[in-house]
Amino acid sequence: MKSLTKVYGQKSLSVKAIDDIDFIVEENEYLAITGPSGSGKSSLMNIIGCLDRATSGTYKLDDISIESYKSEGLAEIRNRKIGFVFQSFNLIPRMSALHNVELPLIYANVSSEERRRRSEEALKIVGLTDRMMHKPNELSGGQKQRVAIARALVMNPAVILVDEPTGNLDSHSTEEILVLFRDLHRQGKTIIIVTHESEVAHQTDRNIVIRDGKIVEDRKIFRVEAAV
């Protein structure tokens, strides 16, 4: 992202949600974007996820210049390049875990046999092989979030974009989900978590702090991995 700005409204009523932001996310980074309510982190998340456009500046995702794409092209980029994980899970109640995970593959016109294979593999990665045919109301909060993570993984996206992943979870489920993200990062996944929770942000390897639309801190977190 280079000189990225997002302005809502016009003239005297305009609000600059993102103010001339520059940063790069490398492949296989694990980082958190944090900041208080109204800081601009949600606006930034929407731009990263191709859910919204910047007012000015440039944004490249996996070497693709986003500015040149129209709505249909952005929808395809979201499907193929970005795996979304939301606080509210966004699962379809009438569908099993397996069919929820299959949805991005359906939109990508993947064959039914291949959809099944890839969805089963994604659910295996998140530890839900024995819950594949359960519907969301038959799953715990932590299990629902694992289904959402499997759905994000199934297209093998360039980046996994995570919005407040532990906001609806108890402390035990929170710990399990953060361990899962760490494992996915070790497997080579690029993960961006948008959160207001400092304890969640501290589990990542890099913290970008936003305030009043500007990056006020960008620091690496160094940790010593315990020997196995």
C-alpha to C-alpha distance for 206 and 71, rounded to whole angstroms: 31
Strand pairing report for 2-8 and 159-163: unpaired
What structural domains and CATH numbers belong to the chain?
1-61+158-223 (3.40.50.300), 92-157 (no CATH)
User: What per-residue confidence (pLDDT) applies to 223?
Assistant: 67
Q: Are 79 and 23 in contact (CB under 8 A)?
A: no
User: What per-residue confidence (pLDDT) applies to 67?
Assistant: 85
User: What per-residue confidence (pLDDT) applies to 19?
Assistant: 94
User: What per-residue confidence (pLDDT) applies to 225?
Assistant: 61
User: What per-residue confidence (pLDDT) applies to 101?
Assistant: 96
**What is the per-residue DSSP string for 133-149?**
T--GGGS-HHHHHHHHH
Tokens 């980082």 -> residue: 31
C-alpha to C-alpha distance for 186 and 205, rounded to whole angstroms: 12
Both tokens assigned to 136? 């969301």
Reduce the DSSP state of residue 154 to 3 states and report it: coil
Phi, psi of 117 (to 5 degrees): -60, -50
User: What per-residue confidence (pLDDT) applies to 20?
Assistant: 94
Residue 135 β-bridge partners: none
pTM: 0.90
pLDDT tens per residue across all 228 residues of the chain: 999 999 998 877 889 999 999 999 999 999 999 998 889 999 999 999 999 999 999 999 988 899 888 888 899 999 899 999 988 889 999 999 999 999 999 989 999 999 999 999 999 999 999 999 999 999 999 999 999 999 999 999 999 999 988 888 888 888 989 999 999 999 999 999 999 888 899 999 999 999 999 999 999 987 666 554
Residues with Cβ within 8 Å of 97's Cβ and at least 6 positions away in sequence, in order, are 91, 123, 128, 131, 132, 133, 134, 135, 136, 139, 143, 147, 150
